Chain A
């Protein structure tokens, strides 16, 4: 399982665990802000995603949220468990509640994202 310190974060609150097959999900902060997640729409395996373009949707009771691809690449796996049990996104965003995996087309892209410390600072700033 990923630790919050091992993943990189976007300004739109997705995370990516970098690697040859990178794992994508939403941050713990994001799930907390969304509230109870009740529906998840994922991309398809084989789909090519472009960095910062919408690629999935997470719906809480309150509202729908677009999920943006943190890096470009081809989807290699999707987490069917979260479509059946969307609450996993609230309970375990970094472990059981990941959304999909992809093969990054430009591995350097993740380096530009925020690390844990920078993301925490970003969230703190946004609260003001």
Chain B
């Protein structure tokens, strides 16, 4: 637990309180866990619109002639996919192919990238990029303290942007546009952590309250409600999105996490590539596997059994409001359990019937091939 002296507050802190946010200490950040209730907030995002303060997320700018080279060398994904105005979800890998972080790298221009990093890892990522780029023509800046961020998520969110940022409607998934909002230089991307279509607005602190209030106003016809970390977690886990520090870390590799599609072995060398080449050839011993159950709510740390033998434990687990059952993911050995394989999960000393499940558990509008592009 952080003490009162070290707790960090976002520029939206007072606004969160005004809207009734139940504030908690989240890795040293004071953020709302919920407003009107996790189930209600979850449903609003799945069916219409919800808004989140995600200002704890970090922003690292990588600029200069070697910006592409540095990111290509430090990422498992191929940065060539990130042409100007586009981003890629990627894993920053260490020498053992463990994850320094999972990130989104946006190409703003051929020599200018914005990397969105996790809150708890922003300093580590910055130092990693800086060290790796020490002998390159590149400038790495950790500007996490300069920006706030709001995520507006849900199938009706694009309609809200007709007036606010019509150019954002033309963006594909992971697209980004730079835009002046309330007189300040901002970034609007078609991204999120909920599995629904929507946008994230990265903006200087001084206008973020205005951005939030504008979203509340534009979202009113769609019943937009403020959402907290609780719903953020149930939404991301249903969507099979990884949580750094819980599901992935410096040790587990991208192949083990079930995110093999992120790895581009044929793009040329990158840090940790050889380990991934070997894992691709020989297979992995453990893999992050989905589990569902109905006789309780699984939690992080619950042990998983198959034929009476322990095969792993859950890294993330919760109640799924969409499926109305318990869901979880954990590293299992054997690594290739077929969905439907009977398992047991130990909850409070009792083994509850469960089964292996495909991940994502639920595919929202973010997974759809066609996105709303405007009237």
Contacts and interface: CB of A to CB of B under 8 A. Distances in A.
A63 B299 CA distance: 8
B39 interface: yes
B38 interface: yes
A74 interface: no
Interface in B1-56: 33-34, 37-40
Contacts of A38: 39, 297, 319
B37 A62 contact: no
B321 interface: yes
B296 A36 contact: no
A117 interface: no
Nearest to A33: B22
Contacts of B321: 61
A82 to B, nearest CB: 15
A64 B348 CA distance: 10
Nearest to A87: B39
B90 interface: no
Contacts of A60: 38
Given A39-B296, A41-B296, A64-B348, A59 B34 contact: no
B230 interface: yes
Given A35-B37, A35-B38, A36-B38, A61 B296 contact: no
A36 B39 contact: yes
B153 interface: no
User: Contact residue range for chain A?
Assistant: 10 to 19
A102 to B, nearest CB: 22
A41 B297 CA distance: 11
Contact of B39 (A39, A61, A63): A61
B296 A62 contact: no
Contacts of B297: 38-39, 59, 61, 64
B156 interface: no
A35 B297 CA distance: 14
B236 to A, nearest CB: 13
B234 interface: yes
A57 to B, nearest CB: 7
Nearest to A59: B297
B230 A61 contact: yes
Interface string A35-77: 1101101000000000000000101111110000000000000
Nearest to B319: A38
B234 to A, nearest CB: 6
B230 A59 contact: no
A111 B15 CA distance: 44
B194 interface: no
Interface of B: 33-34, 37-40, 230, 234, 296-297, 299, 318-319, 321, 348
Interface of A: 35-36, 38-39, 41, 57, 59-64, 90
Top-3 shortest CB links A-B: A59-B297, A61-B38, A36-B39
